Amino acid sequence: MLVVVNSHAGGTAARTLLHQLGQLGMPTLHVSGGEKRTAWYNVSRTLQRLDVQHDSIDFTGIIALLEHPQALKNEESFFYLHDTTTIDALFHARLTSLTYHGTCALGKHPSNNIGVYRVSDLLQHRSRILAMRSTSHPSACERLEIKRKGFDAEDVVFKLVFAHYRQEWCALSARSVLKTPSHFYSNTTKRIRLIYKDWGIVKYSANWEGHRRGYYVLSE
């Protein structure tokens, strides 16, 4: 199954995750938003990169897939991750042994939009997803507004799909939280750890209290 990594121009957090995926030989598409131009790169045997000009924050990669459907050629499903995530060998074992390729969130809501997406489900809700797209080269103010809207719309695709099929919430793993914030990617943003032990995934989250502060962090 293809792994799609959501990222942004100038970001450095993705390096660790992409290295881990490369070490495990996993087919990966790295989508980077807010770039100067739209371009495709074949980085290695297992890694492709797609640069896009819009920066739709948490939804950049999903929107890019809808606008560049060739990325999903011959793919039934894909696994969506953010650059501020790390994985270990258990992730490879879980994903390669997965027999159910339907849309399924990594964990219970909220799950940062991370999980398995069936391509046909994504296409079915194309207009709703594209409505969250930023303009090309968005200003800092627009990016903050997109982040706020994205926070409110977290897991929206999962919600739409599960409601359409009238099914219960599908979750791949339980989650534990290490609530003590620490620096992971810079000296400016402290993050807590969302740990999905059953899948070997750790998400480093900067906006665990954004709704209470009234603003959201965009930097690493």
Yes or no: say if 57 and 146 are a contact pair by the CB < 8 Å rule. yes
* CATH code of 110's domain: 3.90.550
Question: 26: which residues sit within 8 A by CB, 6+ positions away?
Answer: 3, 46, 92, 95
Tens of pLDDT along 101-141? 999 999 999 999 999 999 999 999 999 999 999 999 899 88
Cβ burial of 125 (10 Å; 0-12, 13-18, 19+) is middle
Domain limits at 138? Answer: 2-174
Does the pLDDT of residue 83 top 90, yes or no?
A: yes
Inside any domain, residue 216: no
Domain presence at residue 104:
yes
Residue 189: pLDDT band with limits 50, 70, 90: confident
Q: How many domains does the structure of the chain reveal?
A: 1
For residue 61, the number of C-alpha atoms closer than 13 Å in the C-beta half-sphere is: 27
Q: Has residue 180 been placed in a domain?
A: no
**CA 31, CA 105: separation in Å to the nearest integer?**
20
pLDDT surpasses 90 at 178: no
pTM, two decimal places: 0.92
Tell me what the mean pLDDT of segment 168-189 comes to: 85
> What is the pLDDT of the chain when averaged over all its residues?
91
pLDDT tens by residue, 21-48: 999 999 999 999 999 999 999 999 999 9
- 3-state secondary structure at position 85: strand
The reported pLDDT for the residue numbered 143 is: 85
Whether 160 maps to a domain, the answer reads: yes
Please name the amino acid found at residue 2. Answer: L
* Within-domain flag for 204: no
- 188 falls within a domain: no
**Is residue 194 a part of any domain in this protein?**
no
Residue 150 lies in a domain: yes
